[in-house]
Structure 1
Amino acid sequence: MLKKTLLVYCFLQLFVAAVFGQEVRRQQQTLQGQPHSGYSIKVPYSEAQAKRYWLAYLKERGKVTERRQFIELRDIYWLDAPKGQQAYSLVLGDSTKSEIWIGYPATRADTALDSAIKEQLGKAPFLMKKYQLMASLQDAEAALTFMNREVENLRRNGNKLEGALKRNASEKERLEQQLVKNGEDKVRLEQETEENKKKLEQQQLEAEKISKQLQALKDKLSQLQE
């Protein structure tokens, strides 16, 4: 079992190095004034994106507490939970690339935890791609929800304008002395109604476009999970 795990890990390391040009490397960090031993890997995502994807992954795996400058990890499945092992993570970068780091207080070396950390970081580029697709899917769903809401608002406004048009037409018939005024109102409301219909058609086209993009993202995610 150990040999198989080592072979898988070595394969992942070689694949990551070949595809992304990066590999897991040992790196010391200072957190809250204390030295920490750990490892890091670079990923081709902005700091904000990388942190979003990384947190989404970690929160599905155990207890995660996001601090101001770092992330606390506890009872994550690849940590030594029976001993109450705790590790820390950092996501540092700029608008184009980032570096993910995981480590623990340097005063207590833990060979098993070192291996687990390196294995997880070796998977990070693949995890990032998966959670990028998931985040894109969430964003697309939110955009579609917003667009549908806008379409519904335009439809309600259209009904109100059409109702106003009918009321003004009735006023025209009943009040001949306001014929000119009602005629002007009629023209204005007809123009507004036409503009609203055009906006509604445009919003519906946008909603259909986003719906297609959403389905494409779902298909990609399904392929990735397979």
Structure 2
Amino acid sequence: MVLQPLGRPLNTLKSPYELIIVLADAMAAHSVILKTCGYLHRNISPNNIMVVDDGERVRGLLIDFDHAIKTDKSRLAIAERTGTLPFMSICNLQNSKVQHSELDDWESILYVVCWLGVHGVNRDEQVAYQQEIDAMCKDDEYYKPPLAKWEAGTFDDVAIAKKNDLEDDESFNDCVLQYFQKGAAYDELKDMARSLRLALFENPELSLLYSGVSVIRDIPDKPASRKGAKVL
């Protein structure tokens, strides 16, 4: 028997254009699995999305359902802290009593887009970015790279950092988008990130019980519910 890898990692992609296709496929699969099987993934991250070659085009494959959980009839899951730190939703980080829904996983996709937008999509871009950061840290011991607060500190520290970075368009641009890699393809990725942030945190069609950051801020004192929120 000859075993071959089912796919290849995201950092083998050629451009943000391919990344957008792969993420769209992965989240389409996510939606189908949730609707037909009732399972919520709960650990969306770059390592759990693979690239599959389909002729001359790429497709996306969502993998690693180790943290997936069966949802109730409202497609909500018990509140339990799971995931990979830089890509965990704010509610998840705060370990709130709010039941988890697909909105948490879509929020994770937003962080994946931002992370790869800043660090680079492919391996060469990521290596070059890290070398640049290492040089800046060497010159200034107090320098903090963009998104550094998303992967360091306590869960609450990361939650606060994300809330501050995503609070409004200005904060999102100043703290995240301006640090994206340069080029027309990355501008497209910026547009995707903006659309995701608006859909998650400023979407008037979502249930008033889930209105993004404005509700998340109040979670420690007034646990809310996401029941009734429309699917993105």
**Fold match by TM threshold 0.5:** no
Task: Name the TM-score class by shorter chain.
Answer: under 0.3
Q: Higher Cα Rg: structure 1 or 2?
A: 1
| TM superposition score normalised by structure 2 | 0.25
| TM superposition score normalised by structure 1 | 0.26
More strand as a share of residues: 1
More helix as a share of residues: 1
